Amino acid sequence: MRPHDLYPRLPLPTSDARKLAFDAVPCGLFLCDVDGRFLTANTAFERLTGYASLELTESMTLSSILDPKQYALRGGGLLGRGMVSAVPLVNLTRQAAGDDEMEWTCVRRDQSRIEVLLGMSPIASPSGGISAYAGWMADNSQRAWQQNQLWYRSHHDALTELPNQALLMEHLEISLQRRRQRNEPVRLAVIEIDNLRTVLDSLGQDAADATARTVAARLRGRLVKDEHLAAVETGQFALVSAGETRMDEQSATDLLALICAPIAFASTTIRPNASIGIAAFPEAGQDGATLLHRARLALSAARQDGNGVARHFEHDMQTSSSKRHVLELMLRRAIDEEALSLNFQPQINLKTGNILLAEALLRWKHPDRGNISPADFIPIAESTGLILPIGEWVIRQACRQAVRILTRYGDCPRIAVNVSPVQFRRQDVLGIVRRELEAARLDPRFLEVEITEGVLLNDTEQSIATLQGLREIGVEIAIDDFGTGYSSLSYLTRFKVDRIKIDRSLVVAMMGSTHGTAIVSAILALAHALDVHVTAEGVETEEQANILKELGCDEIQGFWFSRPLTPQAFEHILAPWDSNGPNH
């Protein structure tokens, strides 16, 4: 017995059954002759087009329900393809998913328009030709909307809804093509919110987002004809100006004033800082990519000049950038090869003349270029993140050096290490210090961490917790370069620190200036009232040392007493050691 003999043979469907099945299909189906005149259509097709089947078959053709312009261009591809074998509907549906030729605009009975997918399959005649066409039509409006949304999202910044860099480059290239013909300039300004990271760290993500959105809205609100604005990175915007629109010094100043106006957020006020880099066609470049690159070089130069600065591209910036890149590669190699070293500069007590502390200073001697100044490589390390491994290495080496001195002499001056604001913001400084102290088996009282006022500016819970944690384990805290930053004196009442280091600029200002002396005296009085020690940096003459001693300064550091010393030289000046420190 054959398998199919087990089941009863079903009768062939009647014409009524075929009509019911035809109408039950949710996709619009129709038949038309070789000229496109409708022969029949199902219920789904009626709903889709708004036409009753009778209307369609009496007087209408396929071309009458399609967009006339589309049909004029592509209608020949629907009829007369010369296909003899029928193509299954499922295959047409699969093909439509990636076939732009099947995307059409249908003109409905009420003249509204709807995006559809349309497929045709020829019906063969007994003689081998084409007798008619079977067609299907499906609503494609959702897919079209999704495609539009996908394009929008891929060409716009999600936070500000401004065009992104991809769309900016399209606008820029179009502007360049037009202006080349007219011999007119095109200017590209790259604008960056310099302190957005600080806002993020101190006030949180919502505050940073609000700052970026507000600045974007301010920039958008000042756009004029022939200008395009885009968000190219988080907190970084690009402004394309063409034709008569200028970006001179006054325009840049006005733009910075607009950006940097205070922003009210929650119960506080955010004050954005910004820098601008400008590159102009044709002087700075002939294409969009070059202009953007050189505008960013100008932006980097503006940031180095300080907040609120606008710089136009100059060709020596390209050379400077190349040198910076070479220096970065050399620094990476120096880190890998452990080619960096520490020097130690003593800090002496003005009453006893003894060395109570020493600051660990990073040094780099390149085999070919010799000594490279920290002023040249530290900013690169901070901007590239290399300061993170460097900072850990400095803490480790300082702890090891203190242990060597303790092993040799039985005692050691406190070693001070600088912690970069970048490191303080991005790393677990407390965890690193604990780990290195434990690894070296060093008592925390022999270590001091120096921070800048920039760390205190953030005033975040993380910063406070880290400072408190360091002091709790016995590590002392010093504020470096005191008096050069923000509202310096107010920090002493809000943060418990052990020492402040008066910047050398105040030491210089003290000489021959009653105002300078008054400032140093006021700092000393307030610090001592709060039980904070004071060290003066950059002391280079005996006269400076004597004045500071008279004013009551606790310690001094500078070339007058000692230049930074190698580890071996530093150990040498510490001998012999007694309970009050080294004798000299």
Structural domain spans, the chain? 3-147, 156-313, 346-362+387-582
* Choice between 207 and 98, residue whose per-residue pLDDT is larger: 207
pLDDT digits (tens, 9 = 90+) for 240-281: 888 666 666 778 888 899 999 999 998 888 889 899 998 888
343 has pLDDT over 90: yes
> Which H or E element spans position 120?
strand 113-124
Nearest to 203 by CA among 269, 281, 124, 297: 269
Structure tokens at 465: 């917790």
User: How confident is the model at residue 579, as a pLDDT?
Assistant: 45
576 has pLDDT over 90: no
CATH of domain 3-147: 3.30.450.20
Burial of 349 (0-12, 13-18, 19+ CB in 10 A): middle
User: How confident is the model at residue 319, as a pLDDT?
Assistant: 66
384 has pLDDT over 50: yes
136 has pLDDT over 80: yes
Q: In the structure, what pLDDT confidence band is assigned to residue 320 with cuts at 50, 70 and 90? A: low
Taking CA atoms, 426 is separated from 209, 399, 423, 459, 495, in Å, by 19, 22, 5, 15, 20
90 has pLDDT over 50: no
Distance of CA 307 to the CA centre of its chain: 18
28-32 and 130-139 as β-strands: parallel, antiparallel, unpaired?
A: antiparallel
Determine the Cα–Cα distance for residues 471 and 463; give it in Å rounded to an integer: 13
CB 294 within 8 A of CB 285: yes
CB 119 within 8 A of CB 136: yes
Residue 508: count other Cβ atoms within 10 Å of its Cβ: 14
438 has pLDDT over 70: yes
Nearest to 341 by CA among 322, 360, 368, 356: 360
Q: In the structure, what pLDDT confidence band is assigned to residue 459 with cuts at 50, 70 and 90? A: low
> Collapsing DSSP states into helix, strand and coil, what is residue 185?
coil
Residues in the chain: 584
Q: Which residues pair with 229 in a beta bridge?
A: 239
Determine the Cα–Cα distance for residues 209 and 200; give it in Å rounded to an integer: 8
Residue at token pair 């100008």: 298
43 has pLDDT over 70: yes
User: How confident is the model at residue 360, as a pLDDT?
Assistant: 97
263-265 and 268-270 as β-strands: parallel, antiparallel, unpaired?
A: antiparallel
238 has pLDDT over 70: yes
CB 344 within 8 A of CB 567: yes
Determine the Cα–Cα distance for residues 258 and 177; give it in Å rounded to an integer: 31
Tell me the pLDDT of the chain averaged across its residues.
84
> Of 119-123, 183-187, 367-371, 538-542, which one has max mean pLDDT?
538-542
Segment 338-357 mean pLDDT: 94
Segment 110-139 mean pLDDT: 89
User: How confident is the model at residue 225, as a pLDDT?
Assistant: 81
What is the DSSP secondary-structure string of 426-449?
Answer: HS-HHHHHHHHHHHHT--GGGEEE
Determine the Cα–Cα distance for residues 15 and 572; give it in Å rounded to an integer: 111
Segment 373-381 mean pLDDT: 88
* Choice between 20 and 493, residue whose per-residue pLDDT is larger: 20
Structure tokens at 49: 């087009």
Taking CA atoms, 177 is separated from 41, 244, 273, 313, 335, in Å, by 51, 16, 34, 21, 46
Residue 322: count other Cβ atoms within 10 Å of its Cβ: 10
CB 303 within 8 A of CB 194: yes
Q: Which residues pair with 103 in a beta bridge?
A: 117
Segment 207-224 mean pLDDT: 92
> Which H or E element spans position 573?
helix 567-573
Give percent of the chain with pLDDT exceeding 90: 44
Task: Give the type of residue at 277.
Answer: G
User: How confident is the model at residue 173, as a pLDDT?
Assistant: 85
Determine the Cα–Cα distance for residues 577 and 384; give it in Å rounded to an integer: 42
* Choice between 76 and 409, residue whose per-residue pLDDT is larger: 409
User: How confident is the model at residue 462, as a pLDDT?
Assistant: 74
User: How confident is the model at residue 491, as a pLDDT?
Assistant: 66
pTM above 0.75, yes or no: no
CATH of domain 156-313: 3.30.70.270
CATH of domain 346-362+387-582: 3.20.20.450
Burial of 144 (0-12, 13-18, 19+ CB in 10 A): middle
